Amino acid sequence: MKLVRKDLEKDNAGQVTLIPEEPEDMWHTYNLLQVGDSLRASTIRKVQTESATGSVGSNRIRTTLTLCVEAIDFDSQACQLRVKGTNIQENEYVKMGAYHTIELEPNRQFTLAKKQWDSVVLERIEQACDPAWSADVAAVVMQEGLAHVCLVTPSMTLTRAKVEVNIPRKRKGNCSQHDRALERFYEQVVQAIQRHINFDVVKCVLVASPGFVREQFCDYMFQQAVKTDNKLLLENRSKFLQVHSSSGHKYALKEALCDPAVTSRLSDTKAAGEVKALDDFYKMLQHEPDRAFYGLKHVEKANEAMAIDTLLISDELFRHQDVATRARYVKLVDSVRENMGTVRIFSSLHVSGEQLGQLTGVAAILRFPVAELSDQEDESSSEED
């Protein structure tokens, strides 16, 4: 997704102009749209024309319309998005108030205006437009003296850093120059990794090289991390995966990605993170039920006690037609983040999202047991009976 323009007022009203570039961007757009928004986009309209002789014909004409959104239809298989609404801006072919359905097209910009842009919607735009958010795989392709630090998204590979250091050859009886240059090279690669790889998003870092360069580099990196107490690298050590490549050039990354060990590790990594979070919730529900809550009322009460460690919420809930209900979910997400909790927004198109949907679409793993909440619920329900 490409962000062309963003005009937001202080009260968070305003409009955003975007260009969808991939099929997945239609899914993001579907999650941005709500009934009552206004959408301006290019579309084709069948227009009846009358000639001088009185004969009536019809032509298909491309025009730009602004609709007040009334219905949104998304086809998840074809990744097609149709938006139905009434025309709210003067147009020579379409009367004010006339109905029309726009089918949003890839690589054609549209402008979306809302009375209120909340944090969840703005975060979705940021994720859709920033390639680093969709890149859950990073790679370091290297050989002695040359390294490329890349981010791998579902559709492209972005080179974030290129490290080149001239390394002298080993001389008989004197390897100190070679070793010093090699150490300087490794240090620059480590700095590039820390600068360009977002470990909160990236689930796996491939280190690919010919020969033993990758083993020597990883040994150096983690030895230095222990010496300097670099928590970022030490905590994410398990994400580093060593594989073979023929060189340190970017094109060699393709060989690394085809490695069977890599393909099994990378199979839908973002979804794998969601599956694990849901699995942790089920385990907690089984072993410590007072630390696993689901259902909006229960989760909100746990949040009032600042007990939520991880909030699991389906993106389906943010498409709720009732503005007050949607605002309630947005408030919950903002509040959990303010209390230093983790928020995982599940895609309802993934299996894990469907499972979460069966649990009302919202669940939470708590930092500490909150037994009295369940007791209160039991008491209040027995009183109601």
For 346-371, the pLDDT digits (tens) are 888 777 788 899 999 999 999 999 87
pLDDT at 335 over 80: yes
Which residues, including other chains, have CB under 8 Å from residue 254's CB and lie 6 or more apart?
Answer: none
Predicted local distance difference test score (pLDDT) of residue 383:
43
Strand locations in 285-357 (E): 292-294, 308-314, 342-346
Q: Which domains does the chain possess?
A: 2-129 (2.30.30.870), 137-268 (3.30.420.60), 271-378 (3.30.1330.30)
3-state secondary structure of 58: strand
For the record, the structure tokens of 109 come out as 């910009």
Pairing of strands 99-103, 56-75: unpaired
Strand locations in the chain (E): 2-8, 14-19, 38-50, 56-75, 80-87, 99-103, 110-114, 137-143, 146-152, 157-164, 204-209, 240-244, 292-294, 308-314, 342-346, 362-366
Alpha-carbon span 196 to 385, nearest angstrom: 58
Alpha-carbon span 187 to 142, nearest angstrom: 13
CA–CA–CA angle 285, 287, 290 (5° rounding): 55
Indicate the residue type of 237. Answer: R
Predicted local distance difference test score (pLDDT) of residue 174:
74
Burial class (CB in 10 A: 0-12, 13-18, 19+), 75: exposed
- For 293, other C-beta atoms within 10 Å of its C-beta total 28
pLDDT at 270 over 60: no
3-state secondary structure of 311: strand
Q: What is the helix (H) or strand (E) element at residue 122, kind and residue range?
A: helix 119-129
Predicted local distance difference test score (pLDDT) of residue 382:
42
Instruction: Give the residue with greater pLDDT, 135 vs 334.
Output: 334
* pLDDT single digits (tens) 10-48: 888 999 999 998 777 888 899 999 999 999 999 999 888
CB-CB contact of 309 with 341 (8 Å):
yes
For the record, the structure tokens of 221 come out as 């990196």
Burial class (CB in 10 A: 0-12, 13-18, 19+), 375: exposed
Mean pLDDT over the full length of the chain: 86
pLDDT at 381 over 50: no
75-79, 124-128, 155-159, 191-195: range with lowest mean pLDDT? 155-159
